[in-house]
Amino acid sequence: MNPALADRVVVVTGASSGIGRALARLLIDAGARVIAVARSRERLAALAAELGDALVPVPTDVTDAAAVARLAAAAGAVDVVVNNAGIGHVEPFLASDPARWRVTIDTNLVGALLMVRAFLPEMLAAGRGLIVNVGSTSAGGWPHLTLYAASKAALQTATNALEREHAGRGVRFLCVEIGPTAGTDFGTHSEPEHLPTAARAWTELGIAWQDPTTPEASARVIHDAIARACAE
């Protein structure tokens, strides 16, 4: 139990697997109530069965503005929104599919901003709230991750702009940077033949990718950032 998080209502997107799933567990252990958001109804149901009544599963596609608006209306007043849902592909830029560019940007950037637009008015009216956008170390410009890195860099910039635009109104905006994490769906979206080439490029550039952390460790970074902000 964490006094800063006890009885807080936290929305977590991308909650059905990886970092989001681990974060939902940590938040519930800290005493929070979690509204778990993801596209997979089956995975969310399994998570609810595991974590009990403190988790409310709400299947939602964050790229669908109408679905996000329905989510916010059903959720009511919340204390924290964590925009964790994300997708990425390891691939050479010239081999990438422009159709997947849109999916990446829509999920990682537009989806997060749709969540902000849906939940922010209620937070501003209440004069309190916290919105956490999950960023990435790749935003510095990792090769073979062009669209993913660009989407996360844009998310960082958007977070800064939102924080400045709404300063002094009781709502905080954070972008929490996460490094390479094993045990997520990220690698499953990539062609196996592209991975060794990317790994060589990252190594030559001195990018620390060889020792990825676990979903639980990355979730702990986000959990601790939320706890600190809620305790202030």
Task: Provide mean pLDDT across the span 152-166.
Answer: 98
Evaluate if residue 205 carries a pLDDT over 90. Answer: yes
For residue 155, CA distances in Å to 107, 194, 231 come to 11, 26, 25
* 232 in catalytic set: no
Evaluate if residue 184 carries a pLDDT over 90. Answer: no
Question: Which position among 148, 173, 186, 202 bears the catalytic label?
Answer: 148
| Residue 1 included in any domain | no
Per the structure, how many domains does the chain have?
Answer: 1
| Residue 200 included in any domain | yes
Q: What is the pLDDT of residue 210?
A: 81
Q: What is the pLDDT of residue 194?
A: 87
The burial of 54, by beta-carbon neighbours within 10 Å (0-12 exposed, 13-18 middle, 19 or more buried), is given as middle
For residue 59, CA distances in Å to 20, 43, 138, 172 come to 14, 9, 28, 26
Convert the pLDDT of each residue in 6-57 to its tens digit. Answer: 999 999 999 999 999 999 999 999 999 999 999 999 999 999 999 999 999 9
Q: Which of 67-71, 118-122, 130-134, 228-232 has the lowest mean pLDDT?
A: 228-232
At 194, which CATH number? 3.40.50.720
Q: Report pTM.
A: 0.95
187 — pLDDT class (breaks 50, 70, 90): low
Mean pLDDT estimate for the chain: 94
* Both tokens assigned to 10: 């936290």
Higher-scoring residue by pLDDT: 139, 212: 139
Residue 95, domain extent = 9-231
CA 82 to CA 12: how far, in whole Å?
Answer: 5
Convert the pLDDT of each residue in 80-112 to its tens digit. Answer: 999 999 999 999 999 999 999 999 999 999 999
